[in-house]
Chains A and B, each alone.
Chain A
Amino acid sequence: MLFKTSQNGFLDSFLQPIIGSILFVLLSTPVSAYTIYVSSEKDNKITVIDGDSLKVVDEVSVGERPRGIALSNDGKTLYICTSDADHIEVLDLQTMKVTHTLPSGPDPELLVIGPQDKYLYAANEDDNMVTMVDIEKRVKVTEIQVGVEPEGMGISPDGKWLVNTSETTNMAHFINLQNMKVEDNVLVDQRPRVAQFSNDGKQVWVSSEIGGTVSVIDTQSRKILKKIKFKIPGIHKDLIQPVGIKITDDGKQAFIALGPAARVAVIDTSSFEIEKYLLVGQRVWNLAFSPDEKFVFTTNGVSNDVSVIDVGRLKVKKSIRVGRLPWGIVVRQ
């Protein structure tokens, strides 16, 4: 039995991917090629930036007020919350055409994709719901009632838990994706915006924009391990408004966008100490890593650009002009 399987499946399961990847490496030059996608709330556009040249190479018009964007796990599709159009648009990244829309409930703001690209989950600010959508069947599966003005959406690496934040209720809601029930609620500071799991799934980081803090929640106990506070000389604490959070794959460093403070904070995750504040564009909201994690890209809503942070040197390398009011950002390998 064992022998038979390995004999039959040897080429299929082992050799073919190797040949495939060798071919891929040979065909695609340069090796590190990747693409950055940015949504512009004001221009109703997705701007495409080439990862090597860091130049804008394309622009696609989409529905009204594109905000949260997410890549499918296979990297072929971009899902866009077009908030004022009240649906999610599906952009085929091969043809760069919007192929169809998905129902989302009113005013979708942020979304996440579940494992195997089967379901997506969107936060509907207008009706206090998190909506679950079957991607293939293109139907709304269910809605889960959460707090007032749901916004942040973080999915655990094992795909079992969804953490949603509600901006006026000031909670992180732990939704069990097996039974679609809210199983726990963690009170955080004012106006929580983003929920981000660490790569090992042990922590969820939640940014509170008006509270000016980031709460690090232990996933197991649902207790706040640490409330990270920020202090920048010359900037009043009211203007330090954390939003976007990204944690490196090895879990050692976290980058936090601080909104009108025009800074990205770099955090040592072992001590939760702030290593450095990097000056970026104005009203910095969302962040994305390059696939090799050598760079962090930021969307700067007021200065209408994307800052490029060199992770190794902790320096801002460049800024790239994009559409008006850049909001969401993702990187595709």
Chain B
Amino acid sequence: MKQPLSKNNNVESVMMSILLAIFLLGAIYLEPLHADTLDIPIGLITEEEGRHIPLSLLQPVIEDIGEAGALQGIHDNNTTGRFTGQSFTLTVEKVKPDGPVIQAFRKLHKQGIRLFLLNLPAKKLLEIADHPDAKASLLFNIGATDDNLRLNECRANLLHTMPSRAMLADALAQYLAWKRWTEWFLVVGRHPRDKAYAEALKRAAKRFGHKIVEQKQWTFEPGARRTDSGHNREQQVVNEFSQVGDYDILIVADESKEFGEFLTYRTYRPRPVGGTQGLSPAAWSGVHEQWGATQFQRRFNEQHNRWMTDRDFSAWLAVRTIGEAATRTSSGQVDKLIPYIIGPEFSLAAFKGRPVSFRDWSNQLRQPLLITSAKIMISVSPQKGFLHQFTTLDTLGYDRPESRCKK
């Protein structure tokens, strides 16, 4: 390997030897370093998104949401796996919206897969979790934010890397408490999930000393941004809609992303907008660069040509959780992995400045949450001053005494 350092002054030959040396080294080192490799297959069942045109041309239509994050996790696990003799693979099954999911699950299960990432609505998650074949499987919810899954409908084989609505709402409410923007104008969309988000906000308001001084339901048709002069209508509608008594911040619950973006700069009063749009709580966002996240974001962006979403991050967390537990237990067996993951020894570095781990009563991953705007990170919750007996991360979401899923 010392050839490239020969005293030959011929640049070309030096270059060639360097290239050759790099090539040879590459060939040697990219080989797995362990003779017998343990294969650890992971399945992803993901529901295809219905055709939905984003409100802004700047928001990309993403088709591999979740999957891209899982792949980054697989790549990270395999880099470690080269040293530990473990090899991780991902098999993806896409299901149609409102289509059956058990078939997809059984198909992967038949292939010997026992570790699953599920990007599905709550009802379908439980269908799989309650299936007899799933008893000896480990399932990660990477998409559903439903509080019910953490409060009443817990399952021993179902872990959540996606934060719940209550966690997101609490993260925002803590920041607004720090700001003392305590009087909220709550605007709720027409879908059940918008109402669920609003419920989480109401709970958070109560917990952190806020008051909902106005509340309105958004009833107008989704806008037509491509219509010429369409802005005239949106400008009028929002201006009239928001003529209410005074408040500090308009909080919008529009998970379906139908109208929330229209509100900023168009309200009757000059007040900021937060919630699902505007100042938003999130598990992840392209604006996050702290605690080593820059490198992590760049890796993702180079591979997938877009920024990582919170569902991608939740998928990455799930795959890394499996990887971390597999490294520490030297196993890919569900009955070895689950006790370690839920146990006190488990912690994971997740570019959030402090370790993340699982709540043993609800199997929910506890983590700091980002407070973001479209282009910049505004803050990270939990906020200073909100204390907790065990960990301040448990000031976000339903705590042990509140959950009916007790251990």
Give complex CA distance A12, B320 in Å.
61
Which residues of chain A are near B292, meaning CB under 8 Å? 125, 149, 167, 191
Is there a chain A Cβ closer than 8 Å to B405's Cβ? no
Number of A interface residues in the complex (CB < 8 A): 40
Query: What distance in Å separates the Cβ of B4 from its nearest Cβ neighbour in chain A?
Result: 6
Q: Which of B22-30, B47-55, B176-184 contacts A (4 or more CB under 8 A)?
A: B22-30
Give complex CA distance A191, B327 in Å.
14
Which residues of chain A are near B324, meaning CB under 8 Å? 170
Which residues of chain B are near A224, meaning CB under 8 Å? none
Is there a chain B Cβ closer than 8 Å to A190's Cβ? yes
Is there a chain B Cβ closer than 8 Å to A313's Cβ? no
Which residues of chain A are near B392, meaning CB under 8 Å? 236
Q: Which of A138-171 contact B (CB under 8 A)?
A: 139-145, 147-149, 166-171
Partner of B349, one of A125, A126, A182, A210: A210
- Cβ contact within 8 Å between B347 and A211: yes
Is there a chain A Cβ closer than 8 Å to B126's Cβ? no
Is there a chain A Cβ closer than 8 Å to B58's Cβ? no
Is there a chain B Cβ closer than 8 Å to A13's Cβ? no
- Cβ contact within 8 Å between A148 and B347: no
Query: What distance in Å separates the Cβ of A235 from its nearest Cβ neighbour in chain B?
Result: 12
- Cβ contact within 8 Å between A147 and B29: no
Give complex CA distance A212, B324 in Å.
16
> Known interface pairs A180-B25, A190-B348. Does A238 touch B355 (Cβ–Cβ under 8 Å)?
yes
Is there a chain A Cβ closer than 8 Å to B5's Cβ? yes
- Cβ contact within 8 Å between B80 and A145: no
Give complex CA distance A169, B391 in Å.
26
Is there a chain B Cβ closer than 8 Å to A199's Cβ? no
Q: Which of B266-308 contact A (CB under 8 A)?
A: 292, 295-296, 298-299
Give complex CA distance A168, B84 in Å.
14
- Cβ contact within 8 Å between A148 and B33: no
Give complex CA distance A149, B292 in Å.
9
Is there a chain B Cβ closer than 8 Å to A35's Cβ? no
Is there a chain A Cβ closer than 8 Å to B373's Cβ? no
- Cβ contact within 8 Å between B299 and A169: no
> Known interface pairs A144-B29, A236-B391, A238-B354. Does A125 touch B79 (Cβ–Cβ under 8 Å)?
no
Is there a chain B Cβ closer than 8 Å to A179's Cβ? yes
Is there a chain A Cβ closer than 8 Å to B76's Cβ? yes
> Known interface pairs A126-B298, A210-B347, A238-B391. Does A142 touch B76 (Cβ–Cβ under 8 Å)?
no
B81-121 CB mask vs A (1 if < 8 Å, else 0) is: 00110000000000000000000000000000000000000
- Cβ contact within 8 Å between B79 and A170: no
- Cβ contact within 8 Å between B1 and A170: no
Is there a chain B Cβ closer than 8 Å to A187's Cβ? yes
Is there a chain A Cβ closer than 8 Å to B377's Cβ? no
- Cβ contact within 8 Å between A190 and B355: yes
- Cβ contact within 8 Å between B349 and A168: yes
Is there a chain B Cβ closer than 8 Å to A85's Cβ? no
Give complex CA distance A239, B324 in Å.
21
- Cβ contact within 8 Å between B83 and A147: yes
- Cβ contact within 8 Å between B349 and A142: no
- Cβ contact within 8 Å between A134 and B5: yes
Q: Which of B320-339 contact A (CB under 8 A)?
A: 320, 324, 327-328
Give complex CA distance A260, B354 in Å.
10
Which residues of chain A are near B237, meaning CB under 8 Å? none
- Cβ contact within 8 Å between A143 and B25: yes
Give complex CA distance A212, B357 in Å.
14
- Cβ contact within 8 Å between A210 and B22: no
Is there a chain B Cβ closer than 8 Å to A107's Cβ? yes
> Known interface pairs A107-B295, A145-B30, A211-B347. Does A185 touch B21 (Cβ–Cβ under 8 Å)?
no
Is there a chain B Cβ closer than 8 Å to A128's Cβ? yes
Which residues of chain A are near B84, meaning CB under 8 Å? 185, 187
Which residues of chain A are near B28, meaning CB under 8 Å? 181
Is there a chain A Cβ closer than 8 Å to B156's Cβ? no
Query: What distance in Å separates the Cβ of B387 from its nearest Cβ neighbour in chain A?
Result: 10
Is there a chain A Cβ closer than 8 Å to B18's Cβ? yes
Which residues of chain B are near A128, meaning CB under 8 Å? 79
- Cβ contact within 8 Å between A141 and B80: no
Give complex CA distance A220, B354 in Å.
32
Query: What distance in Å separates the Cβ of B37 from its nearest Cβ neighbour in chain A?
Result: 15
Give complex CA distance A148, B76 in Å.
6
Give complex CA distance A171, B79 in Å.
11
Query: What distance in Å separates the Cβ of A229 from its nearest Cβ neighbour in chain B?
Result: 13
- Cβ contact within 8 Å between A142 and B80: no
Give complex CA distance A77, B347 in Å.
41
> Known interface pairs A134-B5, A180-B1, A210-B349. Does A147 touch B79 (Cβ–Cβ under 8 Å)?
yes
Interface residues of A (CB under 8 A from B): 107, 125-126, 128, 134, 137, 139-145, 147-149, 166-171, 173, 179-182, 185, 187, 190-191, 209-212, 236, 238-239, 241, 260
Known: A143-B25, A169-B76, A190-B355. 15 other contacts (CB 8 A): A128-B79, A134-B5, A139-B4, A142-B25, A145-B26, A145-B30, A148-B76, A149-B296, A168-B349, A182-B33, A182-B83, A191-B292, A211-B349, A211-B355, A236-B392
Interface residues of B (CB under 8 A from A): 1, 4-5, 14, 18, 21-22, 25-26, 28-30, 33, 76, 79-80, 83-84, 292, 295-296, 298-299, 320, 324, 327-328, 347-349, 353-355, 391-393
**What 10 pairs across the A-B complex have the smallest Cβ distances?**
A210-B349, A191-B349, A169-B80, A238-B354, A185-B83, A190-B349, A145-B29, A125-B295, A148-B79, A210-B355
